[in-house]
Amino acid sequence: MEKDIAIQVTDLTKMYKLYNKNGDRLKDALGLLKGNSYTEHLALNHVNLKVKKGETIGIIGTNGSGKSTILKIITGVLSPTSGSVEVDGHISALLELGAGFNMEYNGIDNIFLNGMMIGFSEDEIKARMDSILEFADIGDYVYQPVKTYSSGMFVRLAFAVAINIDPEILIVDEALSVGDVFFQAKCYHKFEEFKKQGKTILFVSHDLSTISRYCDRAILLNQGVILGEGTPKKMIDIYKQVLVGQYPLPENDFKSLLEDDDIREAAGKKLGKKDVDNKENCDDSTKDKDKTEQNPDLLEYGNNAAQIVEFYATDSKGLRTNSVIKGTEFTIHMKVKFLKDINAPIFAFTIKNIMGIEIAGTNSMVEKAFLEPVKAGEEKVITFSQRMLLQGGDYLVSFGVTGFEQDNFEVYHRLYDALNLTVVSDKNTVGFVDMESTVQVTDAKKE
């Protein structure tokens, strides 16, 4: 393994046997099972992965995609069916919080138990004890059996043990948002501290904002197959296609994957000639949009029941612009052409920063602005008017037309990162938005 690599996964496969009857598992273990009494399920299918030292990598994907499985194999909790995993560095893992705790032991005993399981000596654990207790902040309950703890106290102690062991590699599975809001803030602060120290971090999360904010790179898994890896923003956009069963429509970045039937099926939609023909034959008037307003690398997909044919922003005077002065009124415009009858289309826009973190946005359903059916051939003009409260800087605007058909969520057309919007400001406050606070300073009354 190369010196700058912390984790290397090579041709990793994990297969589970799904038995028809409970007793078949025992028979199979004893070599007594005859015939096909089980089906094989590939949780991971020939996965290859490298994590460099000091990198923060996020793994995203739908439920059942193999995210937790790969973390458990890397940490040694599970054994692979085939393939190999090499790790260079001491690992602390936050998988199932509290796994390995003895419910009859008190908190102190469990701290020693878990620390020794990870590989630390009694003296090393004692040296970290004050930090662990301070982080957990459960008071004298630490001297009581953990079976008497509330769920909140239990996860606080488990997180405190794992996070204060001072590992070289931190592996986290959906465990950053535990406890109350104050403890969550403490967890994220510790996570940021690890990043600044150059620790290697590999974690799974459904919180896409967390992936965008912290990760250097993201990996998209689906049904045991790596669909792609790259910048968090890019992978999140592709992941959203997977969620609605419309991956892959764009052929630029993942063209080679379109030729692989297994990967198409893993993504949740197998493209056929009909799908391609529909895309080629639909009204492609989006190509005629003003090139100064449209991002040439925007991500576009949908089932072609509707098409966003125009989009732009106007300032407080109604003039088209890509720059808005902070504190003034501005309007987001989109024109939609309908190619099929739709019962109740939903029109939406979202504003993200350049890291891909969603900052603001809304839709016509939330605003209760339009809940009517439309006919094929109709066109609708939608405007969203509001006051610009974002801090000065560059932002990206995404547009969407979606809806529900027989309780199924459908994406008719989406344009991700389609429009650049620059906010001009002579006063930037803290965070993403300006609270427009009024500040008064007066003399204190003398007694």
Contact (CB, 8 A) for 298 and 286? no
Q: What mean pLDDT comes out for the span 120-133?
A: 91
Q: Are residues 191 and 286 in the same domain?
A: no
Q: Are residues 172 and 297 in the same domain?
A: no
Handedness of CA 420, 424, 430, 433 (dihedral sign): negative
User: What's 322's domain CATH number?
Assistant: 2.70.50.60
- pLDDT attached to residue 93: 80
Beta strand 82-87 with 5-19 is antiparallel
Q: What mean pLDDT comes out for the span 56-75?
A: 92
Q: Are residues 71 and 208 in the same domain?
A: yes
> Hey, which of 116-120, 249-253, 327-331 has the most confident mean pLDDT?
327-331
- pLDDT attached to residue 244: 80
Q: What mean pLDDT comes out for the span 238-259?
A: 60
Residue 382, beta-bridge partner list? 334
Q: Are residues 213 and 332 in the same domain?
A: no
Cα angle 430, 435, 438; round to 5 = 110
Judge whether residue 104 has pLDDT over 80: yes
Q: Which two tokens stand for residue 158?
A: 């488990």
Contact (CB, 8 A) for 413 and 308? yes
Q: What mean pLDDT comes out for the span 252-256?
A: 40
Q: Are residues 396 and 325 in the same domain?
A: yes
Amino acid at 228: G
- What backbone phi and psi angles, to 5 degrees, belong to 245? 70, 30
Handedness of CA 159, 160, 165, 168 (dihedral sign): positive
Q: Is residue 72 part of a domain?
A: yes
Q: How many domains, in total, are found in the chain?
A: 2
Summarised one tens digit per residue, pLDDT across range 393-440 is 999 999 999 999 988 999 999 999 999 999 988 888 998 999 999 999
> Hey, which of 19-23, 102-106, 175-179 has the most confident mean pLDDT?
102-106
Judge whether residue 279 has pLDDT over 60: no
- What backbone phi and psi angles, to 5 degrees, belong to 188? -65, -35
- pLDDT attached to residue 249: 41
User: How far is CA 362 from each of CA 144, 348, 447, rounded to the nearest angstrom?
Assistant: 48, 6, 51
Q: Is residue 121 part of a domain?
A: no
- pLDDT attached to residue 293: 56
% of the chain beyond a pLDDT of 90: 51
Summarised one tens digit per residue, pLDDT across range 193-227 is 888 898 999 989 888 888 888 899 999 999 899 99
Q: Are residues 79 and 215 in the same domain?
A: yes
Q: What mean pLDDT comes out for the span 318-323?
A: 92
Judge whether residue 272 has pLDDT over 80: no
- pLDDT attached to residue 263: 38
Q: Is residue 328 part of a domain?
A: yes
Q: Are residues 413 and 328 in the same domain?
A: yes
Q: Are residues 216 and 316 in the same domain?
A: no
Judge whether residue 96 has pLDDT over 90: no
Q: Is residue 106 part of a domain?
A: no
- pLDDT attached to residue 212: 87
% of the chain beyond a pLDDT of 70: 86
Q: Is residue 260 part of a domain?
A: no
Q: What number of other Cβ atoms are within 10 A of residue 142's Cβ?
A: 22
- pLDDT attached to residue 294: 66
Q: What is the DSSP string of 294-317?
A: S-TT-EEE--SSEEEEEEEEE-TT
Q: Are residues 200 and 308 in the same domain?
A: no
Q: Is residue 240 part of a domain?
A: no
> Hey, which of 90-104, 250-264, 285-299 has the most confident mean pLDDT?
90-104
- pLDDT attached to residue 178: 61
| Stronger pLDDT, 254 or 39, i.e. the higher one | 39
pLDDT band at 172 (very low <50, low <70, confident <90, very high): confident
Give the 3-state secondary structure of residue 286: helix
- pLDDT attached to residue 208: 85
Which residue range is the domain that position 79 belongs to?
5-89+168-220
- pLDDT attached to residue 363: 97
- pLDDT attached to residue 447: 57
Q: What number of other Cβ atoms are within 10 A of residue 191's Cβ?
A: 20
Judge whether residue 159 has pLDDT over 90: no
Amino acid at 3: K
- What backbone phi and psi angles, to 5 degrees, belong to 77? -70, -35
Task: Quote the strand ranges of 90-232, DSSP E.
Answer: 91-94, 169-173, 200-204, 217-222, 225-230
Q: Which two tokens stand for residue 184?
A: 């969550």
Judge whether residue 154 has pLDDT over 70: yes
| Stronger pLDDT, 182 or 132, i.e. the higher one | 132
Judge whether residue 282 has pLDDT over 50: no
Q: Of 401, 7, 426, 414, which Cα lies nearest the Cα of 203?
A: 7
Query: Which has the minimum average pLDDT: 181-195, 199-213, 302-316, 319-333?
Result: 181-195
- pLDDT attached to residue 25: 77
Q: Which two tokens stand for residue 50?
A: 């490298």
Query: Which has the minimum average pLDDT: 132-136, 174-178, 283-287, 347-351?
Result: 283-287
Q: What number of other Cβ atoms are within 10 A of residue 174's Cβ?
A: 18
User: What's 173's domain CATH number?
Assistant: 3.40.50.300
Q: What is the DSSP string of 145-165?
A: BGGGS-HHHHHHHHHHHHHTS
Distance CA 378, CA 275 (A): 23
Q: Are residues 295 and 390 in the same domain?
A: yes
Q: Are residues 198 and 343 in the same domain?
A: no
Q: Is residue 370 part of a domain?
A: yes
Q: Is residue 445 part of a domain?
A: no
Q: What is the pTM of this model?
A: 0.74
- pLDDT attached to residue 243: 83
- pLDDT attached to residue 175: 63
The rounded mean pLDDT for the chain is: 84
Amino acid at 132: I
